[in-house]
Each structure stands twice: as C-alpha cells, then as structure tokens.
Chain A
C-alpha cells in the first residue's frame, strides 16, 4: 500500500472508494431516494429482468441519480414482464411493464429525472408488495 501523503490524496482516494459503498449509503436512507424495484421472479428473469436491472444500476450510478435499485419477487403481472416499480418520494408508486434496457433508460431520464409521464404504466388498482401482508 502506498502512504497517503496529504488531505488531498485522502479525498481523492475517498472519491474512488465511495463508489463501491454507494449502494449501502443509499440503503441507509431509502425514504429520501427514488426506489426502483425490479421484479425478479422466474417470469421476470426469463423475460430479461436481470439485464434491465444491470442497465438501471449502471445508469443511475453514471448519472449520480439519487435512486436505489432493489429486486423483488413476482408482482403478479407475468404477462407484462419485465416489470419495475418506481417510487418517487412524495408520489404514489408506479409500475411499468414490458421494460427493456431502452425503456429502463427512458424511465430514468423522463419519469424520474424530469417527472414526465410515460407510457407503459400498468394502470390498475394493484397493491404494492409492501401492502401484500
């Protein structure tokens, strides 16, 4: 290991390192962040949810968007997989269906960042996973 020679060095080092810890930092304060939950049940994975998830993780990391990506079980919309649930603080949660990588990026850029409405929302009186029990 090299010695850290100054406060400046330490700060640089921190910047390089914090990247890996981001996910933990974010999980510490989930209520202040946009929460994106990717349905990762068998149906979701079969339809490409893992790719979608990777895309989302990379995208928000790259753009430094205050969001956290988690995975969830089946939401019951097997016909529309991959599905993702997006919870913007202060707003009702929204579920998008038929999400692929391109759609995922669009959701981040338009819905999350700019607050624009988007197609693809599953407009039902569904309950979120949290309300399930």
Chain B
C-alpha cells in the first residue's frame, strides 16, 4: 500500500450516505487532485463511526480531527485549509454540548473516551470494500491460526474460556453453543449468521456488516471449522441493501484470495457462505422462526427442544449466532482469552454495542465494556439529557426490555444485572427518557410494536399483547380504573409465562417494569385521571383561573366545541366533559388565565 501522510476517513454507512457522503468523497478527491496533493492525502470510505446524529462524518488521520455534519460544499475548504495548510475548519468541529467548545479531535470527545471497540474495531477505520485493509489489521489471521494450529475442540475450548455470550439477546454462552453443535453428528451442518436485526432503533449489526464485513465471514468460517460445517448462510434483512452489497463484495474478495472455498489456506477445511434475505419480520430474529423463513416457510417459531444445534436448517444441526457475536470472535482468537475475559464483569465478558437514542445529547452507536454504569453511558458518552431536562428512565433491550430508573443508574450493565433489574440486554437498544415522557404511554408505544410484530402463532402473544395494548390505550385516554393495573400485571405475567417464543416471553416487560418503577404514575392516570408528565392529551385538564379571567370571550370564540361559557366581563368556565383538550383557548388567552394540568 502506498504511504500517505494523511488519511481522510469518510463515513460510508447508511446514515451518512443518506446525507450525501458519497458526494463528499468525490469532492474531497477532486479537490486533492486540484491541489496536487494526490501523494500526500488519501480519501477512504469507511463504515460507521457511530456518531450518526452528527453525520456525515469526516475524520482526518493522523490528528484524529473529527468533522461533523459535513456538507459537500465544505470539502474544498477542508482540503485547502486542513490538508494543505494544517488549519482546522473549526466550524465543522464537534461542539461539546455542555461547554459549547469545539473539540479538536475524537480522542477528546466524551462520546469516544469511555468506549472500547472490539466488535466495532474496524468500523470507521478501514475501507470495508478492501480486503487488504482488513488483512493489514490481522484479518483472517485468527482463521489461519486455528486452521493450522488447533483442533476444533481446542478452538471451541478457547471460546468457552473467553466467556463470550450471545449478543442477540439471550446471552447464551457461545462456546457452549458451538460445542453442542459440534457434537451432533450429521452429514451436513450449517453455520447461520442472524443478521435479521429487528429492534427499532438498533443498528449495530447493520453497522458491523457495512463497516467490517470480513470479520463476519472470518468468524463464520472459524465456526464452520469448529462445528464441522462447510456451509454458512447469512440471514439478512432485505432492507439492508448496503450491508448486503458490502457482504457480497467481501465474500467475492475472500473467495478470490482463497479465504472462502475449497481447502482454505492450504488446510483440508472448505467453507463458503451464501445470503438469504428476510422480509423484515421482527420474529424472524428468533432462531427457529429464522430457520423456517430460510426454508421458505412462514416465519414463525416452533417449540424448543429440539434446538437448532440438533435439528435446524433442513433438519440438520445448525449453529445460529448474531452478527455482533461473530464480530467478537476473531479478536478473541488473536488477543487471547485472558485479554478478553479481563474485560467486563464476572459473568458477562467483553464489550457490548448499544444504540443510544432518545432524549440524550449524543445519539449514536457505542461500544462499551460490560460493567459500565448507565450513568457513565448516559452522562459521559451520551453527553447528558437534552435541553437540560431531568432524567426519568432508560429503556434497554429493545421493545421487550424494561425501563430502568434513577436508582439503577449506578448498576453495572451486564446480562444478569439487567435481568435482575427487570429489563434485559436484548440486542442493545438504549432509549433515554426525560421528565416529559409519560411512562404509561411509553409502555403503550412498545406494545404497539410487539402487537404488530407478533407472528400470531400462540394465543397469549397474539391476543394477550393486543389486550395489553388496549388496556394501556384505555388508561391513557382517561378511562382507566384502579383494577386495570392488576389486570395488566396478571395478564403480563401470564403472557410471559405461557408464550411460545422469546417475543411473547418478554413483550410485557415494558408494562411490568413501568408499573413496578412508576406505579404512582399509573395510579394518577386511573384515580385522579391526570398524566403527571403532561403528555396524555386526553388527561389534560383545562380550567380558567377566575382571578385572571377578564371575560374578554376570546377563548369562547376559539373553542371549537362550545365548551366555554360565561357572562361578558365575568370569569368564564370550561366544561370538562365537552372539552376536547385541543388547547385553542390556551393559545388565544392573552391573560394567562387558562390553566393546564
């Protein structure tokens, strides 16, 4: 590879591409050419940097200058000022939300300081469509090492010792999973990569596939060697066209180098992968449903056992791992189990990628060591709550996770602690809520998703979630009664207890955890019929403060349902039964005489 003094890394992830990052690459390149700097600076399209809210991102190496929200018109200035003259374009630098100062390089950004990137090690660092860059970073070395120096048993043993657990949600020990699949004898076995990322807001799998596709191919090949499979299948959502394209490019390159195919790296091991597209059903993230979908059947789960390791794709032993899990595998073999198991907590090793979203300053994709506290994630990496509002809760684990509160802020995040706190790791969604969020509505929002995404096979999930949603709707529209809370609790527990697959077994979590942590808020909805957060429209109570009312009748004229009555120049009153809570009177009143509760 040629030697450049400066590398301009431009994010080529889906988010930044949507903001014309491809054009930015072109403009940077042409300006470099204009100034004759072709031998000094190189423009590289990389995967996602994670800081998607501020995209498109251009990062300049070696000084780690981190330009945010770059527009295609900014390119000439970046080249002329920064590349040619060494002067940073400060208006494009990231501005710290608290100090409002520009931060010169990514190493000093709170967003990155607490992060530890293993699964995302190559994202935003290498050109995902260039296998050479992956190899330069020790790519395929783990596979090579295993093929030439280890038996499958030895390799599985290393993974078991590392303590890696599945990142798709369940947290099942990956090494053990491989071991079970390896022990089931069959003429054909399959390695399946679950890239059916379905949690709303979660995009770590997409980012890895877009930013570092070779790591997945390498890990799948390692898995194939360990369990005795020669075929790998990536089950990927058709809505991820860029990830599909990069994966295809990567597989082609790997084949050309002989890293996929017959007798890989001179060994007796042969392995290749193919892609299967999912239609975007959330439930197809469940491994038995995923396998049915791959077989061309309706994507719905079946009772386990038998587990896929015994009877999976086409009835053959099949090992299904999620993208993020696979992404960790090569790093573990390269750096060793001691290194890996030194990161994290006792029972949850390594790092976890989270998709940070909601009422938080820094929205994006982060990778942190297990055991980090929610406080560190929210306040240090996330830059705190937006607009100086008060933190209220954080929802982890996607639509079927639970809501954690102030009291959980210092709990170290790992698989078991999250479950103990009434939530779960899930695939790593993390949505932060502030004082303006009504927790009943939050639960309703998540139920809306699970109602939509239930496959409909088992009764508790198909009908139960619908009933939960209806009940929450009833409460938020001011028709709830205190008994409804008990109904919700019982129904939630039964749905969890009786549902067929993980979807139904977890879908009531948002309801249970919000009732548990915000019982008073529920109670306020069903007894006083008020929404403490002021977000449930139907529960807003508009009244006129008699002392302030001049009887100007402006509100009377504004009210679309004639709910306001009174004598001219006398204080008026609002009939709460007629009032539709439109707020028109509030807008019109010049004397702030309308009170909203």
Using a CB–CB distance below 8 Å, which chain A residues touch chain B? 1-7, 9-11, 13-14, 16-21, 23-28, 30-31, 37-42, 44-45, 53-54, 57, 61, 68-74, 130, 133
Contact = CB atoms under 8 A, between A and B. Distances in A.
B136 A3 contact: no
B58 to A, nearest CB: 14
29 contacts: A1-B256, A3-B257, A3-B258, A4-B259, A4-B265, A7-B141, A7-B147, A7-B148, A10-B135, A13-B135, A17-B1, A18-B137, A20-B4, A20-B136, A23-B4, A24-B9, A24-B62, A27-B63, A28-B125, A30-B64, A39-B86, A40-B85, A41-B86, A53-B5, A69-B62, A70-B63, A71-B5, A72-B86, A133-B101
Q: Is the interface of A mostly helix, strand, loop or mixed?
A: helix
B145 interface: yes
B325 to A, nearest CB: 24
A7 B87 contact: no
A73 B104 CA distance: 13
Contacts of B63: 27, 37, 70-72
Contacts of A14: 135-136, 138, 141
Nearest to B266: A6
Contacts of A53: 5
Q: Which 5 residue pairs spanning A and B have beta carbons closest together?
A: A20-B1, A40-B86, A3-B258, A17-B136, A71-B86
Nearest to A14: B135
Contact of B5 (A42, A44, A69, A73): A69
B225 to A, nearest CB: 13
A76 B7 CA distance: 26
Interface string B494-505: 000000000000
Residue among A23, A44, A71 with most chain B CB within 10 A: A71
A10 B265 contact: yes
A10 B6 CA distance: 27
Given A6-B265, A57-B5, A70-B62, A18 B144 contact: no
B87 A41 contact: yes
B72 interface: no
Nearest to B132: A17
A13 B125 CA distance: 19
A130 B104 contact: yes
Contacts of A1: 253, 256-257
B152 to A, nearest CB: 17
A44 B126 CA distance: 32
Nearest to A129: B104
A43 B430 CA distance: 50
Nearest to B9: A24
A61 B62 CA distance: 14
B20 interface: no
B138 to A, nearest CB: 7
B140 interface: yes
Given A39-B86, A40-B85, A42-B85, A6 B132 contact: no
